[in-house]
Structure 1
Amino acid sequence: MPRPTDAQGWLERAQEVADILAVDAVERDRANQAPHTEVQLLKNAGLVTVLGPAAHGGGELPWHVVNKIVRIISRADGSIGQLLGYHYLWAWAVRLVGTDAQIAAVEELYTANSLFFGGAVNPRDGDLSIADEGDTIVFNGRKSFSTGGRVADLTVLEGVLDGTDTHVFAIVPTDQPGIVFAGDWDNLGQRLTESGSVTIQDVQVDWAGAAGFVNKQFQPLVYNTLNVPALQAIFNNIYLGIAEGALDTASAYTREHTRSWPYGGEQKQFGVEEFYVLEGYGDLATKLWADAALIDQIDLEISEVLHAPRESLTARRRGEVAVRVAAGKVRIIEDGLEIATKIYELTGARASANRVGLDIYWRNLRTHSLHDPLPYKKHEVGKYVLVNEIPLPTWYS
């Protein structure tokens, strides 16, 4: 199908895809099958290439628009929104740490061929070990979870060179004997994210494929550390999309099915006339709209630094952006979980039926929002506010 030519067209395309995904999201979640068809839908729509260069058929969109695409897809299906969001981060990873030649090669490869990224990068597990064998490096190890799994065409690996503290990222083809996915992701929510365990055995990469290395030496930039704020900003939009989907779905149910309470003494005819229902939706909507406004502003800020010259980013600016992203995460997780829970009070007892499927929103948001402890995000924001201290770059900040 023809590709959109501007940001609004891409957002409309994303909504078309979301409308398709929404039809059977609950049924697909329960079936818990690898989402090959869903990823092919993203490819056919062109959504996997929106960050790629226009010269190779990509959309070359700014990040603040790309995050809105993640949000739109997540409204319909949080699992597929997560897959797409992680794909965008890993597609940009070569810009975060790669050389100019590596950036050009990887972006042409994935954009021209509509390839989908996954990542075997889980910092809570031990690092993969990397052996230096002259012209090549060899990855070995295991990760207890990795997003993208069997539906990814390309997999990002990360490990540490044996006998050093030097971390190396590399992008490799997923379909090879040395990468074995267990297919064991069976969690409460985000069930279609292919986030199960993976074993890496003797995966060879030419030194030329070690991201950012020249003559086996890495030249660090502050920009390299934007991977975490960028990914956490994606999380914010996954969570916001899930919360928006929950409120939209509950509202539609209430308009059509929720009955008034017959013992309130006011003889109301429909649920939409109930004071507590109107007040409840009003309360939840005001929180959600405020969260969306905050996240939109944060996305503009991080988009600016992601698209600026890499050498221009200072540690201070990077830290300020990380704090803002953390603030958005605090708000949307707390408000999103409230929304995903309270919608049951506003829709009524019959809405708890499994066929209605309102539980998918709480399950998805609750599962992924455990990615790192929220009190530490509040702590980062508090230190910035009280003592003007920015967080040091870590795997989670």
Structure 2
Amino acid sequence: MSSTNVSHSEPNPGTNGAPSALDAVKVINKSTVDYPDFKSKPRPKTADEFIERAKEVAELLALDVAQRDLNNEIPYKQIQLLKDAGLVRALGPVKYGGGGLEIDIGYKIEREVAAGDGSIGQLLGYHYLWSYTAQVVGTPEQADFEAKRYTENDYFYGAAVNPRDEDLQITESEDGKYLIYNGRKAFSTGSKISDLTVLEGVLNGAHIFAITESHQEGIKYGDDWNNVLGMRGTQSGSITITNVRVPWSSALGFVDKQFRPLGAYNTILLPTIQLVFTNFYLGIAQGALAKASRYTVANTRPWPFAGDVKAKGVGEFYVQDIYGSLQAKVWGLEAQVDAAGVSIRNLIHRENRESLTAEERGQTAVRVAAAKVQAIEIGLEVTSKIYEVMGARSISLKAGFDHFWRNIRTHSLHDPVAHKKAEVGRYVLKGELPSPTWYT
């Protein structure tokens, strides 16, 4: 695979798949934003610089997110923006040209991007998560190889591991040197616009992860991500894997065809990805609240039939009350989510991976579950209640607020939040820690 990303030259076909209710709306203005040349700027180096760069990117993404979302545009241009801005390699090792940042800072970068475009924030968060696959599951040599490959080339990750579908099936080549993956996944977030795809399949009862090139003859994308409600820009459509060959040496964590287990450490990708979800929910809520407040200051009119008519909408007591309540909840959620991020950091970056205990892993998982519960409830409240303080005109397509609620409402259905509440409840009542599953 060359270092030239297919997304540099592949055309954007606009709406794909079958027509939807949103596609029936006539859209005059398609995405026309020209992004600045970040390649000519110094790359960010410190955590603060990366977060500031993420804010710059979010402001650019916010300019046309409503149009791109409505048109179901495939975000080739936006992923290239993440690369040019240096965000893709933020967590990569410094020795290979990366920022060398830890996962808790990655969450904050993801969150800033999600404030401008929830779909792109999700894709970046998934990229950061999957970039740790080799570190969490693989040998030290495999982890170093994959870190070098993606960092030096600015490669972007996707994955075909949706556990609600049947597992990909793996067979061995006749000479015993290769694993051959076959199967289909109904959802494969980001793979269509990625450079590398994480595969997970089963061979003789053993689950085997491997990382392969996203654009090859044996990988076909269904172009069927025509989701009406939200997260349209993630292009989370189906993927079909046909006779995709990877060498046994790429089977993460296997040495001489035998898996080298790391105990509880092997299971921490699950709470790590749950906190990815939580952070882009929070980022979407932050973006919605900030944009709504600007709209209210500029556009919301006072109610003319009140006993005490205010000069401007911002003078209305109920407007001040709602914004104060929403901001207080968002600030509290941010502190809770950041604390969970530190917990994940302390697990994933420990030097002795095998020293991680099931209890340490469980304590972090329950904190992540609690943060996710709060993020969904507060995110849905913020993205729906802002309309009460903006006024009826804010529902227009031109105002561009609807994607905030639609995105959180859509992705928060990923796995039932009721089970996350129950996990926290069992911990409170019985001291029971969550057992590792594909969703815990």
The interval holding the TM-score normalised by the smaller chain is over 0.9
Q: How many Å apart are 1:298 and its aligned residue? A: 1.0
Contact 2:97 2:151 in 1 (8 A): yes
CA displacement 1:203-247 (0-9 Å, x = unmatched): 001000001101111122211100111111111110000000111
Alpha-carbon distance in 1 for matches of 2:179, 2:125: 29
Alpha-carbon distance in 2 for matches of 1:351, 1:190: 21
Q: How many Å apart are 1:175 and its aligned residue? A: 1.0
State the partner residue of 1:9: 49
State the partner residue of 2:259: 218
Q: 1:253 aligns with which of 295, 308, 327?
A: 295
Q: 1:110 aligns with which of 147, 150, 160?
A: 150
Tell me which amino acid in the other structure corresponds to 1:321: T
Q: Is residue 58 of structure 1 aligned with residue 102 of structure 2?
A: no
State the partner residue of 1:168: 208
- The within-5 A match list for 1:241-320 is 241-309=283-351, 310-320=353-363
Q: How many Å apart are 1:43 and its aligned residue? A: 0.5
State the partner residue of 2:19: none
Q: How many Å apart are 1:13 and its aligned residue? A: 1.1
Alpha-carbon distance in 2 for matches of 1:101, 1:60: 18
Contact 2:157 2:191 in 1 (8 A): no
Q: How many Å apart are 1:5 and its aligned residue? A: 2.0
Tell me which amino acid in the other structure corresponds to 1:55: K
Alpha-carbon distance in 2 for matches of 1:56, 1:261: 59
Q: How many Å apart are 1:51 and its aligned residue? A: 1.0
State the partner residue of 1:327: 370
In structure 2, stretches of 5+ residues that fail to align are 1-40
Structure in which a larger fraction of residues adopt helix: 1
Q: 2:393 aligns with which of 350, 355, 361?
A: 350
Alpha-carbon distance in 1 for matches of 2:168, 2:269: 19
Alpha-carbon distance in 2 for matches of 1:332, 1:142: 31
Alpha-carbon distance in 2 for matches of 1:31, 1:76: 17
Q: Is residue 199 of structure 1 aligned with residue 262 of structure 2?
A: no
Tell me which amino acid in the other structure corresponds to 1:306: I
- The within-5 A match list for 1:41-120 is 41-120=81-160
State the partner residue of 1:360: 403
Q: How many Å apart are 1:32 and its aligned residue? A: 1.1
In structure 1, stretches of 5+ residues that fail to align are none
Q: How many Å apart are 1:130 and its aligned residue? A: 0.4
- The within-5 A match list for 1:378-389 is 378-389=421-432
Q: Is residue 143 of structure 1 aligned with residue 156 of structure 2?
A: no
Tell me which amino acid in the other structure corresponds to 2:92: G
Tell me which amino acid in the other structure corresponds to 1:30: L
Tell me the SS of whatever aligns to 2:132: helix
Q: Is residue 190 of structure 1 aligned with residue 231 of structure 2?
A: yes
Alpha-carbon distance in 2 for matches of 1:231, 1:185: 21
Alpha-carbon distance in 2 for matches of 1:301, 1:2: 31
Alpha-carbon distance in 2 for matches of 1:11, 1:268: 39
Tell me which amino acid in the other structure corresponds to 2:205: D
Structure 1 runs of 4+ with >2 Å offset: none
CA displacement 1:6-42 (0-9 Å, x = unmatched): 1111111111111111111111111212111000000
Identity of aligned residues (%): 53
Alpha-carbon distance in 1 for matches of 2:148, 2:397: 45
TM-score where L is the length of structure 2: 0.89
Tell me the SS of whatever aligns to 1:61: coil
Contact 2:219 2:242 in 1 (8 A): yes
Tell me which amino acid in the other structure corresponds to 1:360: H
Aligned length: 395
Q: How many Å apart are 1:274 and its aligned residue? A: 0.6
Alpha-carbon distance in 1 for matches of 2:192, 2:166: 22
Q: How many Å apart are 1:149 and its aligned residue? A: 2.3
Tell me the SS of whatever aligns to 2:155: coil
Tell me the SS of whatever aligns to 1:389: coil
Alpha-carbon distance in 2 for matches of 1:2, 1:282: 38
Alpha-carbon distance in 1 for matches of 2:340, 2:191: 30
Tell me the SS of whatever aligns to 2:336: helix
Q: Is residue 24 of structure 1 aligned with residue 64 of structure 2?
A: yes
Tell me which amino acid in the other structure corresponds to 2:370: A
